[in-house]
């Protein structure tokens, strides 16, 4: 979608910007859950020797397309750039100007390309808060999300008594900001709407790899925030928390990241902290059954399912905080790592041959008669072919929450997957993985959540209105 002018005259956050077009990544198929990149190069001669990073060298270093992947700030610049640049910073680039629309058939943040920064946060309604208070909260949250996603400041007068925008994201454009809202199993009890709770929101079954912390699992309400700028993402997180005020309290909150747009020489699938490409097998929007697999169909608004009609156009988000035991993983030789996954680490190609996008040949054997993709390889066990066609759209963030006294990193994946029905997506695949995935010894599921994410809000609506005012 096209970018928007960020001039202060029209109330936008940034200044002196040019219009941008497309998404922040500019090169992705929507919804594939992949990262992006642009051309790279190096300076030479005295320029390189002195470290004088001129605009010419900067543009040459990333290529013409890569220039769209750099946020250089408004005219006047900041001292951090002045220390490495000899000329004035340029106007807001397409990364900052890229805007995702709030209103639509589906909520943003589901098929939106992966963003560089993310926050996920769950809230519990405060004692005494019910349906009326939840509706007022969703109205406030929707209004704030719409403004921030357009690159506009909050209006002030937030529910916690703050009378002005915090200013955290001043000078930045929307930066592909998305804010996505969901309801947990307990939300329907708290609001007296149990009759409208869909069967797909039944609690997930236990799995043998679970080491779940109940304090970091579940929740009445769930919010996912993503943006290609860290300050823009944090600004949205603060605004959402401030609007919750006394209506809802934070239950848990987690921070994540992905590769920054423009960091790689070409568009490519994102890597996780194990170094593996993550999202190769994602369903593609171009596939005829994509909507059927990912979004709740509109026929839920008819007949016996009419009480679940509020979820039409929505989806289910399964959220898992997966700790990666990186010390153990990194000690494995490369060929062992590749057999655990079933794909080459360098390019994500299946061990049966070809490129990343080549279909796996699960029956192909090597000269020794052994399967090239082992029986317990993660890619084999999780493939739709081995799970009666079960599929989900993976859209994760990596996380790193520090290093323990023994030097062990608390790092891994904020796994978020989307599907029209968890019993036909996450659950059957995870059950298979639970019974013999070669990757299991190197990961630990430490938190979990399942949320029903309503369809997108139409103009003049707030998210969840069709449920809360039913």
Residue at token pair 């369809």: 455
Coil, helix or strand at residue 272? coil
> What length does the chain have?
470
For residue 278, indicate whether it is catalytic: yes
Q: Residue 368 to residues 1, 68, 138, 362: CA-CA distances in angstroms? A: 52, 50, 60, 16
Strands (E), 229-298: 248-257
Determine the Cα angle at 355 with ends 351 and 359, to 5°: 70
Cβ–Cβ < 8 Å for 323, 410: yes
Strands 248-257 and 443-453: unpaired
- The contacts of residue 114 (CB under 8 Å, 6+ apart) are 33, 34, 35, 226, 258, 270, 395, 397
Active-site residue, selected from the candidate residues 124, 278, 289, 434: 278
Ramachandran area for residue 77 (φ above 0: left; ψ -120 to 50: alpha; else beta) = left
- H or E segment and range at residue 416: strand 409-419
- Side-chain-facing half-sphere of 216: CA atoms under 13 Å: 16
CA distance 22 to 38: 15
Query: How many beta carbons lie within 10 A of that of residue 199, not counting itself?
Result: 10
Determine the Cα angle at 146 with ends 142 and 152, to 5°: 135
Q: Residue 212 to residues 16, 208, 217, 322, 447: CA-CA distances in angstroms? A: 48, 11, 7, 10, 5
DSSP letter, residue 355: -
- Side-chain-facing half-sphere of 450: CA atoms under 13 Å: 20
Residue at token pair 């009759």: 195
Cβ–Cβ < 8 Å for 211, 322: no
Q: What's the burial of 405, exposed, middle or buried (CB within 10 Å: 0-12/13-18/19+)?
A: exposed
CA distance 402 to 365: 42
CA distance 90 to 354: 43
Catalytic residues: 278
């Amino acid at each position: 979608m096209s970018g928007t002018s960020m001039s202060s005259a029209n109330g936008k956050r940034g200044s002196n910007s040019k219009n941008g077009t497309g998404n922040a990544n500019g090169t992705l198929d929507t919804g594939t859950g992949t990262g992006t990149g642009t051309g790279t190069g190096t300076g030479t001669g005295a320029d390189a020797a002195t470290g004088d990073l001129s605009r010419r060298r900067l543009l040459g270093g990333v290529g013409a397309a890569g220039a769209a992947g750099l946020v250089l700030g408004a005219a006047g610049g900041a001292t951090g750039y002045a220390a490495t640049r000899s000329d004035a910073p340029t106007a807001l680039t397409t990364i900052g100007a890229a805007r995702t629309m709030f209103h639509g058939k589906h909520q943003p943040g589901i098929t939106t390309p992966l963003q560089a920064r993310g926050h996920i946060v769950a809230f519990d309604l405060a004692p005494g808060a019910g349906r009326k208070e939840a509706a007022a909260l969703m109205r406030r949250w929707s209004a704030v999300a719409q403004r921030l996603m357009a690159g506009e400041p909050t209006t002030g007068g937030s529910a916690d008594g703050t009378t002005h925008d915090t200013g955290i994201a001043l000078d930045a454009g929307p930066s592909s900001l998305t804010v996505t809202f969901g309801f947990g199993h307990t939300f329907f009890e708290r609001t007296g709407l149990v009759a409208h709770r869909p069967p797909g929101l039944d609690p997930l079954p236990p799995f043998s790899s679970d080491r779940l912390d109940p304090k970091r699992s579940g929740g009445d309400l769930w919010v996912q925030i993503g943006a290609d700028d860290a300050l823009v993402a944090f600004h949205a997180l603060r605004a959402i928390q401030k609007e919750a005020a006394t209506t809802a309290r934070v239950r848990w909150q987690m921070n994540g990241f992905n590769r920054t747009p423009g960091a790689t020489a070409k568009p490519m699938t994102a890597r996780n902290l194990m170094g593996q490409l993550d999202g190769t097998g994602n369903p593609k929007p171009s596939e005829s059954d994509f909507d059927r697999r990912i979004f709740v169909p509109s026929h839920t608004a008819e007949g016996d399912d009419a009480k679940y009609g509020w979820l039409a156009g929505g989806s289910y988000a399964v959220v898992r905080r997966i700790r990666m035991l990186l010390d153990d993983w990194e000690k494995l030789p490369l060929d062992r790592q590749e057999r655990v996954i079933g794909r080459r680490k360098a390019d994500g190609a299946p061990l049966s041959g070809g490129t990343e996008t080549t279909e796996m040949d699960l029956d192909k054997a090597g000269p020794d008669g052994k399967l090239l993709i082992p029986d317990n390889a993660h890619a084999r066990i999780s493939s739709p072919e081995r799970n009666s066609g079960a599929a989900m759209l993976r859209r994760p963030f990596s996380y790193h929450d520090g290093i323990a006294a023994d030097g062990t990193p608390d790092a891994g994946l904020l796994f978020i997957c989307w599907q029209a029905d968890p019993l036909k997506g996450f659950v059957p695949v995870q059950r298979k993985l639970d019974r013999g995935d070669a990757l299991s010894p190197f990961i630990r599921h430490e938190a979990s959540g399942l949320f029903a994410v309503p369809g997108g809000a139409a103009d003049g609506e707030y998210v969840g209105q069709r449920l809360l005012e039913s």
